[in-house]
């Protein structure tokens, strides 16, 4: 009888895959759904003011669902899968160490509303996998910018102008790896690069999970 109840509880509390709703593996993202994520080419996607920008994956159904689930639907344990996917891509780019991972910061009002910065969660997992150092103090967002998706490229740049501030005391002379989820026009990376360079920090690389631009 006891084993029956334990079996029943196991069955009730079995984790369903957030993507296909099957519970065979009792995980948040089953291996079949994870394996459906597709890498983009292993190489630099674009350069912004001499800084290389890499993008890990094709913007398809499951990767979009992964990003949105973490960002808007409080599915915090998805951060691990996003970080794992980025790390698997990144190992094809370089085996160099010594990066300091800087997640794109949210303005404190927005972080308060959302209760967490999803990219900090991804960065934490990414650092656990890579052994890199996490740095969330180097750059903060001092302007509460409008959401970017409705804006033209020129409006995006204007919206983000002077949005960030560097805290030089938090700089440890490492190589900076800025990470974000979606790189559309690159305007967020560009403004962060501009701000860091103005503070004399030049060893910068950018890395996004995906891009809606094919
Ligand atoms: Zn699944």
Q: How far is the CA of 115 from the centre of ligand 1 (A)?
A: 27
Q: Please compute the mean of the pLDDT values over residues 158-174 and round it to a whole number.
A: 93
Q: How far is the CA of 109 from the centre of ligand 1 (A)?
A: 34
pLDDT at 11: 67
Do 31 and 59 sit in the same domain of this protein? no
Name which residue leads in pLDDT, 7 or 15.
15
User: How many angstroms separate the CA atoms of 131 and 12, rounded?
Assistant: 36
Do 133 and 61 sit in the same domain of this protein? yes
pLDDT of residue 49 exceeding 70, the answer is yes
Q: How far is the CA of 121 from the centre of ligand 1 (A)?
A: 22
Do 48 and 152 sit in the same domain of this protein? yes
Do 27 and 109 sit in the same domain of this protein? no
The C-alpha angle with vertex 64 and arms to 61 and 69, in degrees rounded to 5, equals: 120
- Domain of residue 17: give its range: 1-35
pLDDT at 10: 67
Residue 192 contacts residue 119 (beta carbons within 8 Å): no
User: Model's pTM, two decimal places?
Assistant: 0.92
Q: How far is the CA of 32 from the centre of ligand 1 (A)?
A: 6
Do 15 and 80 sit in the same domain of this protein? no
pLDDT, tens digit (0-9, with 9 covering 90-100), for 115-157: 999 999 999 999 999 999 999 999 999 999 888 878 888 898 8
Do 67 and 22 sit in the same domain of this protein? no
Task: pLDDT band for 1, please (50, 70, 90 cuts).
Answer: low
Cα 159 to chain center, whole Å? 21
Do 72 and 101 sit in the same domain of this protein? yes
pLDDT, tens digit (0-9, with 9 covering 90-100), for 29-46: 999 999 999 999 999 999
Do 17 and 99 sit in the same domain of this protein? no
Residue 87 contacts residue 124 (beta carbons within 8 Å): no
Q: How far is the CA of 24 from the centre of ligand 1 (A)?
A: 9
Q: How far is the CA of 61 from the centre of ligand 1 (A)?
A: 12
Q: How far is the CA of 120 from the centre of ligand 1 (A)?
A: 25
Do 43 and 11 sit in the same domain of this protein? no
Averaged pLDDT of the chain? 93
Tell which residue, 165, 191, 168, 192, has the closest CA to residue 178. Answer: 192
Tell which residue, 148, 136, 139, 150, has the closest CA to residue 188. Answer: 148
Q: How far is the CA of 165 from the centre of ligand 1 (A)?
A: 40
Could you give the percent of the chain with pLDDT greater than 90?
A: 80
Domain CATH code at residue 107 = 3.40.50
Cα 213 to chain center, whole Å? 17
Q: Please compute the mean of the pLDDT values over residues 108-116 and round it to a whole number.
A: 91
Do 15 and 86 sit in the same domain of this protein? no
pLDDT at 198: 97
pLDDT at 145: 87
Do 113 and 155 sit in the same domain of this protein? yes
Task: pLDDT band for 85, please (50, 70, 90 cuts).
Answer: very high
Task: pLDDT band for 2, please (50, 70, 90 cuts).
Answer: low
Do 177 and 202 sit in the same domain of this protein? yes
Q: How far is the CA of 15 from the centre of ligand 1 (A)?
A: 11
pLDDT at 150: 83
DSSP string covering the chain, please? -HHHHHHHHHHHHPPPPTTT---TT-SSS-HHHHHT--B--SS--EEETTEEEEEEEE--HHHHHHHHHHHHS--GGGHHHHHHHHHHHHTTT-----EEEEEPPPBHHHHHHHSS-HHHHHHHHHHHHH-PEE-SSSEEE-S-PPPGGGS-HHHHHHHHTT-EEE-GGG--S-EEEEEEEE-SSSHHHHHHHHHHHHTT---EEEEEEEES--
Domain count, the chain: 2
């Amino acid at each position: 009888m006891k084993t029956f109840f334990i079996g029943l509880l196991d069955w009730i509390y079995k984790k369903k895959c957030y993507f296909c709703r099957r519970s065979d593996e009792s995980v948040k993202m089953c291996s079949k759904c994870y394996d459906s994520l597709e890498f983009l080419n292993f190489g630099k996607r674009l350069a912004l003011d001499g800084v290389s920008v890499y993008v890990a994956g094709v913007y398809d159904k499951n990767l979009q669902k992964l990003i949105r689930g973490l960002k808007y639907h409080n599915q915090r344990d998805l951060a691990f899968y996003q970080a794992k996917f980025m790390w698997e891509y990144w190992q094809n780019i370089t085996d160099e160490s010594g990066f300091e991972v800087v997640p794109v910061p949210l303005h404190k009002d927005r972080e308060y509303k959302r209760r967490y910065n999803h990219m900090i969660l991804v960065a934490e997992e990414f650092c656990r996998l890579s052994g890199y150092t996490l740095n969330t103090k180097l750059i903060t967002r001092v302007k509460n910018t409008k959401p970017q998706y409705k804006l033209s490229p020129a409006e995006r740049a204007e919206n983000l102008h002077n949005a960030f501030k560097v805290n030089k005391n938090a700089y440890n002379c490492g190589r900076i790896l800025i990470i974000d989820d979606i790189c559309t026009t690159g305007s967020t990376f560009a403004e962060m690069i501009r701000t860091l360079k103005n503070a004399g920090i030049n060893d910068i690389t950018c890395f996004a999970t995906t891009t809606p631009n094919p």
